[in-house]
Protein backbone atom coordinates (compact mmCIF):
# COMPACT_ATOMS: atom_id res chain seq x y z
CA UNK A 1 0.00 0.00 0.00
CA UNK A 2 1.24 3.46 -0.89
CA UNK A 3 1.18 6.22 1.71
CA UNK A 4 -1.06 8.32 -0.53
CA UNK A 5 -3.82 5.72 -0.03
CA UNK A 6 -3.94 6.25 3.75
CA UNK A 7 -6.79 8.83 3.58
CA UNK A 8 -8.87 6.36 1.52
CA UNK A 9 -8.18 3.59 4.02
CA UNK A 10 -9.25 5.87 6.87
CA UNK A 11 -12.48 6.70 5.00
CA UNK A 12 -13.17 2.98 4.49
CA UNK A 13 -12.57 2.35 8.19
CA UNK A 14 -15.00 5.19 8.97
CA UNK A 15 -17.63 3.50 6.78
CA UNK A 16 -16.99 0.26 8.66
CA UNK A 17 -17.67 2.07 11.97
CA UNK A 18 -21.24 2.92 10.91
CA UNK A 19 -22.85 -0.50 11.65
CA UNK A 20 -21.27 -0.78 15.13
CA UNK A 21 -22.43 2.75 16.01
CA UNK A 22 -25.99 1.88 14.94
CA UNK A 23 -25.97 -1.45 16.80
CA UNK A 24 -24.62 0.20 19.96
CA UNK A 25 -27.35 2.85 19.76
CA UNK A 26 -30.03 0.19 19.30
CA UNK A 27 -28.66 -1.69 22.32
CA UNK A 28 -28.70 1.46 24.44
CA UNK A 29 -24.92 1.44 24.76
CA UNK A 30 -24.72 5.22 24.35
CA UNK A 31 -21.29 5.65 25.91
CA UNK A 32 -19.68 3.20 23.50
CA UNK A 33 -21.63 4.66 20.59
CA UNK A 34 -20.35 8.10 21.57
CA UNK A 35 -16.76 6.86 21.66
CA UNK A 36 -17.02 5.29 18.19
CA UNK A 37 -18.81 8.38 16.84
CA UNK A 38 -16.02 10.62 18.13
CA UNK A 39 -13.37 8.25 16.73
CA UNK A 40 -15.10 8.44 13.35
CA UNK A 41 -15.19 12.24 13.58
CA UNK A 42 -11.52 12.50 14.51
CA UNK A 43 -10.60 10.11 11.70
CA UNK A 44 -12.48 12.37 9.28
CA UNK A 45 -10.29 15.27 10.36
CA UNK A 46 -7.14 13.16 10.05
CA UNK A 47 -7.89 11.87 6.55
CA UNK A 48 -8.81 15.39 5.41
CA UNK A 49 -5.59 16.79 6.84
CA UNK A 50 -3.46 14.08 5.22
CA UNK A 51 -5.16 14.48 1.86
CA UNK A 52 -4.73 18.27 1.83
CA UNK A 53 -1.33 18.56 3.53
CA UNK A 54 0.44 15.86 1.54
CA UNK A 55 -1.73 16.20 -1.58
CA UNK A 56 -2.83 12.60 -1.19
CA UNK A 57 -6.07 13.27 -3.01
CA UNK A 58 -7.75 10.91 -5.44
CA UNK A 59 -11.02 10.41 -7.26
CA UNK A 60 -11.79 7.51 -4.96
CA UNK A 61 -11.13 9.70 -1.92
CA UNK A 62 -13.40 12.41 -3.32
CA UNK A 63 -16.18 9.81 -3.29
CA UNK A 64 -15.31 7.85 -0.13
CA UNK A 65 -14.88 10.80 2.24
CA UNK A 66 -18.30 12.45 1.74
CA UNK A 67 -19.91 8.99 1.49
CA UNK A 68 -18.46 8.03 4.87
CA UNK A 69 -19.63 11.33 6.35
CA UNK A 70 -23.17 10.95 5.02
CA UNK A 71 -23.47 7.30 6.00
CA UNK A 72 -22.39 8.06 9.56
CA UNK A 73 -24.59 11.13 9.98
CA UNK A 74 -27.71 9.79 8.25
CA UNK A 75 -27.48 6.43 10.03
CA UNK A 76 -26.96 8.07 13.40
CA UNK A 77 -29.79 10.58 12.91
CA UNK A 78 -32.18 7.90 11.62
CA UNK A 79 -31.38 5.61 14.54
CA UNK A 80 -31.69 8.35 17.16
CA UNK A 81 -34.95 9.44 15.54
CA UNK A 82 -36.31 5.90 15.43
CA UNK A 83 -35.45 5.46 19.11
CA UNK A 84 -37.23 8.73 19.90
CA UNK A 85 -34.06 10.45 21.09
CA UNK A 86 -34.21 13.05 18.30
CA UNK A 87 -37.41 14.61 17.00
CA UNK A 88 -38.72 12.98 13.82
CA UNK A 89 -39.26 16.36 12.15
CA UNK A 90 -35.58 17.23 12.67
CA UNK A 91 -34.41 13.89 11.31
CA UNK A 92 -36.71 14.41 8.32
CA UNK A 93 -35.27 17.88 7.73
CA UNK A 94 -31.68 16.61 7.87
CA UNK A 95 -32.51 13.78 5.43
CA UNK A 96 -34.47 16.18 3.18
CA UNK A 97 -31.43 18.45 2.87
CA UNK A 98 -29.15 15.58 1.87
CA UNK A 99 -31.68 14.23 -0.64
CA UNK A 100 -32.11 17.71 -2.15
CA UNK A 101 -28.35 18.15 -2.49
CA UNK A 102 -27.80 14.72 -4.05
CA UNK A 103 -30.81 15.04 -6.38
CA UNK A 104 -29.77 18.56 -7.35
CA UNK A 105 -26.23 17.43 -8.09
CA UNK A 106 -27.47 14.57 -10.27
CA UNK A 107 -29.93 16.85 -12.07
CA UNK A 108 -27.25 19.48 -12.64
CA UNK A 109 -24.85 16.87 -14.00
CA UNK A 110 -27.55 15.46 -16.31
CA UNK A 111 -28.84 18.82 -17.59
CA UNK A 112 -25.75 21.03 -17.48
CA UNK A 113 -22.58 18.98 -17.09
CA UNK A 114 -19.86 18.21 -14.55
CA UNK A 115 -20.31 19.65 -11.10
CA UNK A 116 -17.49 21.57 -9.44
CA UNK A 117 -18.89 21.14 -5.97
CA UNK A 118 -17.52 23.30 -3.19
CA UNK A 119 -19.15 23.27 0.24
CA UNK A 120 -20.72 26.54 1.34
CA UNK A 121 -19.74 28.07 4.69
CA UNK A 122 -23.31 27.60 5.98
CA UNK A 123 -23.01 23.93 5.04
CA UNK A 124 -19.77 23.56 6.99
CA UNK A 125 -21.40 25.26 9.98
CA UNK A 126 -24.39 22.93 9.61
CA UNK A 127 -22.18 19.85 9.60
CA UNK A 128 -20.38 20.95 12.77
CA UNK A 129 -23.72 21.67 14.46
CA UNK A 130 -25.14 18.29 13.41
CA UNK A 131 -22.09 16.55 14.88
CA UNK A 132 -22.32 18.57 18.10
CA UNK A 133 -26.01 17.69 18.39
CA UNK A 134 -25.24 13.97 18.17
CA UNK A 135 -22.51 14.33 20.79
CA UNK A 136 -24.77 16.38 23.10
CA UNK A 137 -27.62 13.89 22.65
CA UNK A 138 -25.38 10.91 23.41
CA UNK A 139 -23.91 12.65 26.45
CA UNK A 140 -27.44 13.38 27.67
CA UNK A 141 -28.40 9.75 27.11
CA UNK A 142 -25.40 8.60 29.16
CA UNK A 143 -26.79 10.59 32.10
CA UNK A 144 -24.91 13.86 31.68
CA UNK A 145 -27.89 16.08 32.53
CA UNK A 146 -25.91 19.29 32.01
CA UNK A 147 -26.37 18.63 28.26
CA UNK A 148 -30.16 19.09 28.39
CA UNK A 149 -30.13 22.83 27.66
CA UNK A 150 -27.25 22.77 25.10
CA UNK A 151 -28.93 19.85 23.34
CA UNK A 152 -32.20 21.78 23.08
CA UNK A 153 -30.39 24.83 21.71
CA UNK A 154 -28.52 22.65 19.21
CA UNK A 155 -31.82 21.22 17.95
CA UNK A 156 -32.91 24.75 17.00
CA UNK A 157 -29.51 25.64 15.53
CA UNK A 158 -29.39 22.43 13.47
CA UNK A 159 -32.91 23.03 12.20
CA UNK A 160 -32.02 26.58 11.12
CA UNK A 161 -28.63 25.75 9.54
CA UNK A 162 -30.01 22.66 7.81
CA UNK A 163 -32.84 24.64 6.23
CA UNK A 164 -30.56 27.58 5.39
CA UNK A 165 -27.87 25.42 3.79
CA UNK A 166 -30.38 23.34 1.83
CA UNK A 167 -32.07 26.45 0.45
CA UNK A 168 -28.71 28.11 -0.26
CA UNK A 169 -27.64 25.14 -2.40
CA UNK A 170 -30.95 25.18 -4.26
CA UNK A 171 -30.73 28.90 -5.04
CA UNK A 172 -27.03 28.96 -5.94
CA UNK A 173 -27.06 25.85 -8.12
CA UNK A 174 -30.35 26.81 -9.78
CA UNK A 175 -28.82 30.15 -10.73
CA UNK A 176 -25.64 28.47 -12.03
CA UNK A 177 -27.66 26.00 -14.06
CA UNK A 178 -29.78 28.77 -15.54
CA UNK A 179 -26.68 30.83 -16.42
CA UNK A 180 -24.96 27.83 -18.03
CA UNK A 181 -28.07 26.90 -19.99
CA UNK A 182 -28.50 30.50 -21.21
CA UNK A 183 -24.83 30.65 -22.17
CA UNK A 184 -25.19 27.48 -24.26
CA UNK A 185 -28.31 28.76 -26.02
CA UNK A 186 -26.91 32.21 -26.90
CA UNK A 187 -25.37 32.48 -30.41
Full 3-state SS string of the chain: CCHHHHHHHHHHHHHHHHHHHHHHHHCCCHHHHHHHHHHHHHHHHHHHHHHHHCCCCCHHHHHHHHHHHHHHHHHHHHHHHHCCCCCHHHHHHHHHHHHHHHHHHHHHHHHCCCCCCCCCHHHHHHHHHHHHHHHHHHHHHCCCHHHHHHHHHHHHHHHHHHHHHHHHHHHHHHHHHHHHHHHHHCC
Question: What confidence score (pLDDT) does residue 28 get?
Answer: 98
Confidence (pLDDT) at 187: 62
pTM (whole model) above 0.85: yes
| Rounded mean pLDDT, 80-107 | 95
pLDDT at 186: 65
Taking 80 as the threshold, does the pLDDT of residue 35 lie above it? yes
Q: Is the pLDDT of residue 20 over 90?
A: yes
The percentage of residues in the chain with a pLDDT greater than 90, rounded to a whole number, is: 72
Domain boundaries, the chain: 1-85, 86-187
Per-residue confidence (pLDDT) for residue 105, from 0 to 100? 87
Report yes or no: 104 and 173 within 8 Å, Cβ to Cβ.
yes
pLDDT tens readout for residues 121-178: 999 999 999 999 999 999 999 999 999 999 999 999 999 999 999 999 999 988 988 8
Amino acid sequence: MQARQIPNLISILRILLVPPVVVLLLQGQYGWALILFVVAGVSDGIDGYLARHYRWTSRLGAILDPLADKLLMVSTYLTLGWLGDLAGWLVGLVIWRDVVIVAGTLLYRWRVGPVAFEPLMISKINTVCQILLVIATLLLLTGFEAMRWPQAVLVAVVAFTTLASGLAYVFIWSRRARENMEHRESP
